[in-house]
Every structure is written in C-alpha cells, then in structure tokens.
Amino acid sequence: MPPPDNAAPLHIVVLCHPDNDSFNASVSKAYCAAVRELGHRALVRDLYAMGFEPVLKGAERPGADFRQFRDVTDELDIIGDAAVFVLVYPIWFGTPPAMLKGYVERVLGSGVGPNAVQARSAKGVLAGKKMISFTSSASSEFWLDEQGQVNGLKSCFDHYIEHAFGMLPSRHIHFGHIVAGLDAHFVDQHLADVRAEARTIAGEIDQAKTDRK
C-alpha cells in the first residue's frame, strides 16, 4: 500500500450512526481502506463519537450578526481541503438522522445565505467537491421505491446540497434489508460494492489531476 502524503486527495467520511459496530460503520471502514490502498487520505468524522452538537443557534444564521462558533471553525479547519465528502447514514422515518442534518446546517452550510443558494454561487467548503452518499434501511428497496423514498431523499437532500453549494454531480448508493443478523455473505457483497465505488471515485480524482498537468 503506497503511503499517503499531505498532498494526496482527502476523502472526508461523515458517519452518522450511534452504534460503533453497525453496518454503517463497516461501510465507512471499507470506503476508507479502499482509497488508502490507492494512496489517498481518508478521515472519518463520526458524529456520535464526536458528540457533535447539531442544534443551530440563532447567531449562526447568515446576516449582519452572523457568528461562527469555535466547534464549527475547528471542524472546517479539519475538513477544509477535502476533495470528496462521503455521507454514511441510515434512513430513519424517511429522512437522514437529525444529527447529520445539523452537521449540514452548522458546518457545511456555515455562513451560506439564501441568495447564494438560489444563485448556486455559495463558496462554502463543499464548492467544487464530489459527494457520495451510502444509506441503509431495514425496509426493502422495493417497498421504499413504492413510497418514492429513495428518489425523494435524493431530490430533497443530495441534489439540493449538490446544487445549492456548487458541488460536482453526486452519487447515492442505498442498501435495503439491513437488519440484525444479516447474512455475512450479503454484508460482504455490499461492502465489495462500497470498495468498488471508492476506487471509482479515487480513479476519477487521479485522472482529473493528470488532465490538469
């Protein structure tokens, strides 16, 4: 495995699940291992383990009295040079966990006003970056499709973030039927899909870097 260096592309993996041994945690580990094998850097931001505070304060709303709190400033310093943002989370009651929504509001959207969102001119930490989401649910994909769930989530969350913050086109991989006691064979298949996506994204970044030379 080639050792990563400070100039290697950085993948920020935002993990939002309260269980350290969850399928979602395994997804984040598989993704990180795959890109590191290619010499990229990967950093997991485990929101539950961090004890991230998701509640947006009034002073954090864009405006004349806007204030960026220290925890947000520190987080932006950590993730600021990322090339890729990877969101890993379960779908709960049709939406991402509240903690992830709070991370988007307080960190990824810090200081971004509605005019910039509508004009797609936001210059936040996400601008010009790639994003891929890995989601899971206990329900079957067929049932979720009947409810319009995954497509609705892609529209109101992924594509909104992508367009509002001036990101590159995003990807979304969903795994259904993720329940306790899931057969190890299926877990391995899913994690192989995660590693394949990770290698694809890393390859795209490396190719883009070569093309710029």
Query: How sure is the predictor about 199, in pLDDT bands with cuts at 50, 70 and 90?
Result: very high
Q: Measuring CA to CA, how many Å separate 139 from each of 35, 78, 92, 143, 154?
A: 29, 35, 10, 7, 17
35 domain-assigned: yes
pLDDT at 149: 62
Specify the range with the lowest mean pLDDT, choosing from 50-54, 127-131, 143-147, 206-210: 143-147
3 domain-assigned: no
- pLDDT for residue 69 is more than 90: yes
What's 138's domain CATH number? 3.40.50.360
Query: How sure is the predictor about 182, in pLDDT bands with cuts at 50, 70 and 90?
Result: confident
Residue recorded with tokens 């850097």: 41
pTM of full prediction above 0.85: yes
Which tens digit of pLDDT belongs to each residue from 6-15?
A: 789 999 999 9
Contacts (Cβ under 8 Å, ≥6 apart) of 90:
16, 17, 22, 24, 97, 135, 136, 137, 178
Domain total of the chain: 1
pLDDT at 76: 96
User: What SS3 state is found at 166?
Assistant: coil
Which tens digit of pLDDT belongs to each residue from 139-156?
A: 766 666 666 666 777 777
Q: In terms of residue numbers, what domain contains 88?
A: 10-212
Alpha-carbon 191 to chain mean position: 17
31 domain-assigned: yes
